[in-house]
Amino acid sequence: MKIIIFGPQGSGKGTYASRLSPLLGNIPHIATGDLLRAARDDKEYGEKIRHYQDTGGLVPDEIVLRTLKKRLDQPDARKGFIIDGYPRNAEQAKALDKITAIDVIINLVVPEWVLLQRLSTRVQCKNCSTIFNTRTLPPKKPGICDKCGGPLFQRDDDKPEAIKKRLALYHEMSAPLIKHYRDQGIVIDIECDSPDIPPEIVVNKIMDRLRTFKKARGQAKTK
Ligand code: ADP
């Protein structure tokens, strides 16, 4: 399945996508934020990427698209993928339509106070990008990644000023894109209105909804 996980910063896209991947035949979880972070030392684009990421702005479309396309061309993405963090504006949605068809959008609907609380206590592994939350999803040993033993850090863009800017950008440019996909009848809305729901519960809910969606699609096709 070709999936986009969509929602504001702090809605849990990465947390849920990384848990959905093994349940969906190990299709890769492709997070544009992580792809771009991995390219921060790039000779050509690194400086621009660092600038936009650190201040909470959007990296120019051309750089993001090139990075994403390269990742989607890898053999493991042929059978499907979960894209997290793309598209974020109308240009990006148009560009993606040209590269590949998407089967379903998982749209995470989360109130702002939950987002703010989660982002301010979020930490990420420097090596493998796994996300933890010092309040709701703490690592077993403080400051150390459970998965790879790497150091955990708070991203510069998770500091209050950058958070405000990123959420404003989401509401202005990204949130309206859902209509583009709703018109195609491929959006599954997942409501999560508490900061303390364990990720597994939300992941089960998403899996249930995906099964229902697939069944309905299958029936529609055979009619
Ligand atoms: P978040 O979604 O919580 O902002 P990400 O890790 O997805 O975190 O992204 C971090 C940063 O990477 C963004 O603030 C932005 O600068 C850049 N970025 C990621 N995806 C895109 C995109 N599709 N378009 C432009 N910039 C992006």
**Residue to mutate, 32, 83, 131, ligand 1, most ligand atoms under 8 Å from C-beta:** 32
pLDDT at 159: 85
Q: 73 in helix, strand or coil?
A: coil
In ligand 1, which atom is closest to the CA atom of 49?
Answer: 16
β-pair type (152-153, 122-125): antiparallel
State how many domains the chain has: 1
pTM score: 0.89
In ligand 1, which atom is closest to the CA atom of 92?
Answer: 23
Locus of tokens 């508490």: 194
Distance from C-alpha of 1 to C-alpha of 77, rounded to nearest angstrom = 10
| Residue 34 forms part of a structural domain | no
Q: Find all residues with CB under 8 Å of 147, minimum gap 6, and list them.
A: 125, 128, 130
Provide the residue range defining the domain that includes 174. Answer: 2-28+74-222
| Residue 194 forms part of a structural domain | yes
CATH code at 104? 3.40.50.300
Residue 45 beta carbon below 6 angstroms from any ligand 1 atom: no
pLDDT at 57 over 80: yes
The tens digit of pLDDT for each residue in 85-135 reads 999 999 999 999 999 999 999 999 999 999 998 899 999 999 998 999 999
Catalytic residues: 13, 88, 122, 155, 166
Residue 6 beta carbon below 6 angstroms from any ligand 1 atom: no
Distance from C-alpha of 4 to C-alpha of 83, rounded to nearest angstrom = 5
pLDDT greater at residue 222 or residue 106: 106
